[in-house]
Amino acid sequence: MTTSTPGGGSPIRSSSGIWLVAEREIGSKLRSKAFVISTVILMLIALAGVLIGGFASNNSGTDKTPVAATSETASAVSALPDVEVTEVADDEAAEQLVREEKVDAAVVSSGGPTGYTVIALKDAPSSLVSGLSQTPEVQILEPATTNPLLRYFIALAFGIVFLMAASTFGGTIAQSVVEEKQTRVVELLLSAIPARTLLAGKVIGNTILAMAQIVALAAIATVGLIVTGQRDVLTLLGGPILWFAVFFLFGFVLLASLFAAAASMVSRQEDIGATTTPITMLIMAPYILVIVFNDNALVLTIMSYVPFSAPVGMPMRLFVGEAQWWEPILSLAILLVSCIAAIAIGAKIYENSLLRMGSRVKLTEALRG
């Protein structure tokens, strides 16, 4: 497909036009000192977070472990190093302290070969188990697939990266569209290339920049985990990070198309918020939900199949081992269908609204044309 340039010049192929617009978007961003500085700061914050978290986890073993014990087991537990003993009347009282999370574990007497049973809520302290003369019987009240604190920080990381990358580059697309309308540069652009080519170039250019940030953050996280000796965490995170990148790619294309369409409905920078706020809320929702409900299997399952939250929900479920092998494939298929639908709707709104100046274009008018 080709389109003629003004003045009867040689035609521009649509594919060439897309890449010309994409290069323009990338170049303008890379020439922006604010963008470069903010990107460097983001990378430094990510590296600092990984390093601080790693060193903190490595040094956490210096604190004493609170343990409940009955009169029969108190003497044996007190002899262990780095243990703070709380003596209770019976086994029920010891278990209650564990459930209330006032102690990390409880040691009670049992009829087993070791004579002790360690009661823990989610994970038995390894120092306590190994410190006893013989390996005791371990009873887990609520088995957990991952460390709760680690689970929270991984959820926080996925949520923040998705929120910052999607909102930053989505907002960039919106501002670019309105700026071109406000200065009437868009009229010159549309005389050389179709509206859909212009839209595709903007989306592709900003997607490349967003994915470059995601890859850089993943590389920084990998280096940080290796430096701090957290190779076991890196092994667990390898697959989920790759899935996060794939889901983010298509999820961002979906959001970028909607941002461009929403921005094309207004003609002034001050009015951008009026049409892009609903999309911004769709970006913030996964961030809030994954942090608040990172230990809620039902909420994470729902999030992993909703297109706007799947880039966060599904990698999180893969990290904690709650997703079957076929679930990310099904979720990605749903996201792809949603992405195609969003591109089609966004392109229609973009085409019908781009040359309409003045007051805000209503959504129904933008869809009708």
Domain ranges of the chain: 2-56+147-368, 63-140
Contact 40, 100 (CB under 8 A): no
pTM for this entry: 0.73
Structure-token match 């959001």, residue found: 255
- Give the DSSP per-residue string, 83-102: EEEEE-SSHHHHHHHHHTTS
196 dihedral zone (left: phi>0; alpha: psi -120 to 50; beta): alpha
- Give the whole-angstrom CA distance, residue 191 versus residue 183: 15
Contact 333, 183 (CB under 8 A): no
Pick the CATH number of 63-140 from 1.10.357, 1.10.1610, 3.40.50, 3.40.190: 3.40.190
* Three-state DSSP class for residue 341: helix
Q: What is the pLDDT along the chain (369 residues), one digit of tens a residue?
A: 455 444 444 445 677 889 999 999 999 888 988 888 988 888 888 888 777 766 666 555 456 789 989 888 887 888 787 788 899 988 898 889 999 888 989 898 877 666 788 898 888 887 777 776 565 666 766 665 667 778 888 898 899 999 999 998 999 999 999 998 988 888 888 888 899 999 999 999 999 999 999 999 888 888 888 887 777 778 888 899 999 999 999 999 999 999 999 999 998 888 898 899 999 999 999 999 999 999 899 999 999 999 999 999 999 999 988 899 999 999 999 999 999 999 999 999 999 998 888 888 888 888 886
Q: Could you tell me which of 29, 342, 352 has the C-alpha nearest to residue 190?
A: 352
Cα–Cα distances in Å, from 363 out to 174, 261, 281? 16, 10, 18
- Give the whole-angstrom CA distance, residue 56 versus residue 119: 26
State the pLDDT at residue 310: 95
* Three-state DSSP class for residue 23: helix
Residue 362: which residues within 8 A CB-CB, separation 6 or more?
A: 265
- Give the whole-angstrom CA distance, residue 283 versus residue 100: 35
